[in-house]
Structure 1
Amino acid sequence: MDVLIIDDEKNIRQLLKEILELNHFKVDTAKNGRDGIELFNKNSYKLIFIDKRMPGISGEEVFTEIRKTNKIIPVYIISAFQSSTEIEILNKGNITGVLMKPFTIQEVMKIVRKHLG
Protein backbone atom coordinates (compact mmCIF):
# COMPACT_ATOMS: atom_id res chain seq x y z
CA MET A 1 0.00 0.00 0.00
CA ASP A 2 1.26 3.47 -0.81
CA VAL A 3 -0.80 6.02 1.14
CA LEU A 4 -2.94 6.12 4.29
CA ILE A 5 -5.46 8.96 4.68
CA ILE A 6 -6.98 9.50 8.13
CA ASP A 7 -9.73 12.13 8.17
CA ASP A 8 -13.19 12.31 9.73
CA GLU A 9 -14.49 14.37 6.80
CA LYS A 10 -15.82 11.98 4.16
CA ASN A 11 -15.39 14.53 1.34
CA ILE A 12 -11.71 15.06 2.14
CA ARG A 13 -11.04 11.31 2.31
CA GLN A 14 -12.80 10.70 -1.00
CA LEU A 15 -11.14 13.64 -2.75
CA LEU A 16 -7.62 12.62 -1.71
CA LYS A 17 -8.31 8.95 -2.52
CA GLU A 18 -9.61 9.80 -6.00
CA ILE A 19 -6.70 12.14 -6.77
CA LEU A 20 -4.16 9.52 -5.76
CA GLU A 21 -5.88 6.53 -7.37
CA LEU A 22 -6.20 8.44 -10.66
CA ASN A 23 -2.41 8.75 -10.46
CA HIS A 24 -2.04 4.98 -9.88
CA PHE A 25 -1.31 4.97 -6.16
CA LYS A 26 -2.83 2.44 -3.78
CA VAL A 27 -4.75 4.16 -0.98
CA ASP A 28 -6.36 3.15 2.32
CA THR A 29 -8.64 5.52 4.22
CA ALA A 30 -9.80 5.71 7.82
CA LYS A 31 -12.67 7.82 9.15
CA ASN A 32 -11.17 8.26 12.62
CA GLY A 33 -7.92 8.04 14.54
CA ARG A 34 -8.58 4.62 16.05
CA ASP A 35 -9.26 3.04 12.63
CA GLY A 36 -6.21 4.82 11.23
CA ILE A 37 -3.93 3.42 13.91
CA GLU A 38 -5.33 -0.08 13.29
CA LEU A 39 -4.65 0.19 9.55
CA PHE A 40 -1.16 1.55 10.20
CA ASN A 41 -0.38 -1.38 12.51
CA LYS A 42 -1.67 -3.96 9.98
CA ASN A 43 -0.15 -2.56 6.77
CA SER A 44 2.95 -0.91 5.41
CA TYR A 45 2.62 2.62 3.98
CA LYS A 46 5.00 5.01 2.26
CA LEU A 47 3.09 8.23 3.08
CA ILE A 48 0.40 9.25 5.58
CA PHE A 49 -2.03 12.18 5.72
CA ILE A 50 -3.73 12.84 9.08
CA ASP A 51 -6.45 15.37 9.83
CA LYS A 52 -5.38 17.42 12.83
CA ARG A 53 -8.81 17.77 14.43
CA MET A 54 -10.95 14.68 14.72
CA PRO A 55 -13.41 13.54 17.37
CA GLY A 56 -12.07 10.89 19.73
CA ILE A 57 -8.38 10.42 19.02
CA SER A 58 -6.92 13.64 17.59
CA GLY A 59 -4.56 13.78 14.65
CA GLU A 60 -1.73 14.71 17.01
CA GLU A 61 -2.38 11.59 19.09
CA VAL A 62 -2.43 9.43 15.95
CA PHE A 63 0.84 11.02 14.85
CA THR A 64 2.41 10.29 18.25
CA GLU A 65 1.34 6.63 18.03
CA ILE A 66 2.78 6.29 14.52
CA ARG A 67 6.08 7.85 15.57
CA LYS A 68 6.42 5.35 18.42
CA THR A 69 6.94 2.57 15.88
CA ASN A 70 8.08 4.39 12.74
CA LYS A 71 10.26 7.48 12.97
CA ILE A 72 10.91 7.94 9.24
CA ILE A 73 7.62 7.53 7.35
CA PRO A 74 6.54 10.86 5.85
CA VAL A 75 3.51 12.19 7.75
CA TYR A 76 1.55 15.30 6.77
CA ILE A 77 -1.01 16.91 9.04
CA ILE A 78 -4.12 18.26 7.28
CA SER A 79 -5.32 21.45 8.93
CA ALA A 80 -7.51 24.46 8.24
CA PHE A 81 -5.44 26.65 10.52
CA GLN A 82 -2.19 26.48 12.45
CA SER A 83 -0.75 28.68 15.13
CA SER A 84 3.01 29.03 15.29
CA THR A 85 2.94 27.22 18.65
CA GLU A 86 1.12 24.24 17.13
CA ILE A 87 3.59 24.07 14.25
CA GLU A 88 6.52 24.15 16.69
CA ILE A 89 4.99 21.27 18.69
CA LEU A 90 4.47 19.22 15.52
CA ASN A 91 7.99 19.95 14.28
CA LYS A 92 9.45 18.71 17.56
CA GLY A 93 7.61 15.45 16.92
CA ASN A 94 9.30 15.09 13.52
CA ILE A 95 6.28 15.97 11.39
CA THR A 96 7.09 16.02 7.67
CA GLY A 97 4.77 18.88 6.81
CA VAL A 98 1.33 20.48 6.90
CA LEU A 99 -1.26 20.36 4.11
CA MET A 100 -3.37 23.45 4.63
CA LYS A 101 -7.09 23.48 3.80
CA PRO A 102 -8.26 24.43 1.32
CA PHE A 103 -5.62 22.62 -0.72
CA THR A 104 -5.22 22.13 -4.46
CA ILE A 105 -4.65 18.96 -6.44
CA GLN A 106 -1.25 20.39 -7.40
CA GLU A 107 -0.25 20.77 -3.73
CA VAL A 108 -1.25 17.18 -2.97
CA MET A 109 0.58 15.80 -6.00
CA LYS A 110 3.72 17.82 -5.19
CA ILE A 111 3.85 16.10 -1.79
CA VAL A 112 3.13 12.67 -3.25
CA ARG A 113 5.74 12.99 -6.01
CA LYS A 114 8.31 14.16 -3.49
CA HIS A 115 7.93 10.98 -1.45
CA LEU A 116 6.66 8.37 -3.90
CA GLY A 117 8.28 9.47 -7.13
Structure 2
Amino acid sequence: RLKEILELNNVKVDNAKNGREGIDLFKEHTYKLVFIDKRMPGISGEEVFSEIRKTNKMIPVYIISAFQSTTELEILKEANITGVLMKPFTIEEVMKIVRKHLG
Protein backbone atom coordinates (compact mmCIF):
# COMPACT_ATOMS: atom_id res chain seq x y z
CA ARG A 1 0.00 0.00 0.00
CA LEU A 2 2.81 2.46 0.84
CA LYS A 3 4.51 1.81 -2.50
CA GLU A 4 1.24 2.47 -4.35
CA ILE A 5 0.64 5.73 -2.47
CA LEU A 6 4.13 6.98 -3.25
CA GLU A 7 4.11 5.95 -6.91
CA LEU A 8 0.70 7.54 -7.46
CA ASN A 9 2.26 10.76 -6.16
CA ASN A 10 5.22 10.51 -8.55
CA VAL A 11 7.75 9.42 -5.93
CA LYS A 12 10.36 6.93 -7.18
CA VAL A 13 10.30 3.84 -4.98
CA ASP A 14 12.51 0.81 -4.45
CA ASN A 15 10.79 -1.98 -2.56
CA ALA A 16 12.55 -4.83 -0.74
CA LYS A 17 10.91 -8.21 -0.17
CA ASN A 18 12.75 -8.70 3.11
CA GLY A 19 15.21 -7.05 5.47
CA ARG A 20 18.36 -8.44 3.89
CA GLU A 21 17.29 -7.21 0.44
CA GLY A 22 16.53 -3.80 1.96
CA ILE A 23 20.02 -3.54 3.41
CA ASP A 24 21.54 -4.59 0.09
CA LEU A 25 19.49 -1.97 -1.80
CA PHE A 26 20.55 0.69 0.68
CA LYS A 27 24.20 -0.17 0.18
CA GLU A 28 23.86 -0.11 -3.62
CA HIS A 29 21.85 3.12 -4.03
CA THR A 30 21.54 6.61 -2.61
CA TYR A 31 18.23 7.43 -0.94
CA LYS A 32 16.77 10.58 0.56
CA LEU A 33 14.10 8.87 2.70
CA VAL A 34 13.58 5.33 4.02
CA PHE A 35 10.48 3.57 5.35
CA ILE A 36 11.07 0.25 7.13
CA ASP A 37 8.33 -2.13 8.20
CA LYS A 38 8.94 -3.30 11.74
CA ARG A 39 7.95 -6.85 10.85
CA MET A 40 9.39 -8.44 7.77
CA PRO A 41 10.73 -11.84 6.74
CA GLY A 42 14.22 -12.68 7.90
CA ILE A 43 15.73 -9.88 9.93
CA SER A 44 13.58 -7.36 11.79
CA GLY A 45 12.98 -3.74 10.90
CA GLU A 46 15.05 -2.71 13.91
CA GLU A 47 18.00 -4.71 12.59
CA VAL A 48 17.63 -3.11 9.16
CA PHE A 49 17.49 0.31 10.83
CA SER A 50 20.65 -0.47 12.79
CA GLU A 51 22.51 -1.43 9.60
CA ILE A 52 21.34 1.74 7.85
CA ARG A 53 22.53 3.89 10.76
CA LYS A 54 25.98 2.28 10.58
CA THR A 55 26.23 3.58 7.01
CA ASN A 56 24.29 6.84 7.19
CA LYS A 57 23.43 8.62 10.44
CA MET A 58 21.53 11.49 8.78
CA ILE A 59 19.05 9.93 6.35
CA PRO A 60 15.43 10.22 7.52
CA VAL A 61 14.16 6.76 8.52
CA TYR A 62 10.59 5.94 9.55
CA ILE A 63 9.56 2.64 11.11
CA ILE A 64 6.12 1.39 10.04
CA SER A 65 4.25 -0.49 12.73
CA ALA A 66 0.78 -1.39 13.93
CA PHE A 67 1.92 -1.21 17.55
CA GLN A 68 4.83 0.28 19.47
CA SER A 69 5.27 0.08 23.22
CA THR A 70 6.58 3.13 25.03
CA THR A 71 9.82 1.24 25.69
CA GLU A 72 10.25 0.40 21.99
CA LEU A 73 9.63 4.02 21.02
CA GLU A 74 12.22 5.25 23.52
CA ILE A 75 14.80 2.77 22.20
CA LEU A 76 14.13 3.90 18.62
CA LYS A 77 14.37 7.59 19.57
CA GLU A 78 17.68 6.97 21.31
CA ALA A 79 18.86 5.18 18.17
CA ASN A 80 18.08 8.32 16.12
CA ILE A 81 14.91 7.15 14.34
CA THR A 82 13.23 10.01 12.51
CA GLY A 83 9.70 8.83 13.26
CA VAL A 84 7.10 6.10 13.39
CA LEU A 85 4.33 5.71 10.81
CA MET A 86 1.51 3.87 12.55
CA LYS A 87 -0.74 1.42 10.68
CA PRO A 88 -3.28 2.03 9.39
CA PHE A 89 -1.88 5.21 7.88
CA THR A 90 -3.48 7.65 5.48
CA ILE A 91 -2.26 9.05 2.19
CA GLU A 92 -2.11 12.46 3.87
CA GLU A 93 0.20 11.18 6.64
CA VAL A 94 2.56 9.60 4.12
CA MET A 95 2.65 12.63 1.87
CA LYS A 96 3.27 14.98 4.81
CA ILE A 97 6.43 12.99 5.58
CA VAL A 98 7.46 12.95 1.91
CA ARG A 99 6.98 16.71 1.51
CA LYS A 100 8.91 17.36 4.72
CA HIS A 101 11.97 15.42 3.54
CA LEU A 102 11.81 15.54 -0.26
CA GLY A 103 10.30 18.97 -0.79
Higher strand share: 1
Q: Once superposed, what is the RMSD of the aligned Cα atoms?
A: 0.7
Q: Write the distance in 2 (CA, Å) between the matches of 1:35 and 1:55.
A: 10
Structure 1 stretches of at least 4 aligned residues deviating more than 6 Å after TM superposition? none
SS in 2 for 1:76: strand
Aligned-residue offset at 1:45 = 0.4
Pick from 13, 17, 22: which aligns with 1:36? 22
Q: Distance in 1 between matches of 2:57 and 2:3?
A: 24
Are positions 1:67 and 2:49 aligned together? no
Percent identity over the alignment? 82
Check if 1:52 corresponds to 2:38.
yes
Provide the secondary structure at the position in 1 that maps to 2:94: helix
Q: Which runs of 5+ in 1 are unaligned?
A: 1-14
Q: How many residue pairs get matched? A: 103
* Structure 2: runs of 5 or more not aligned: none
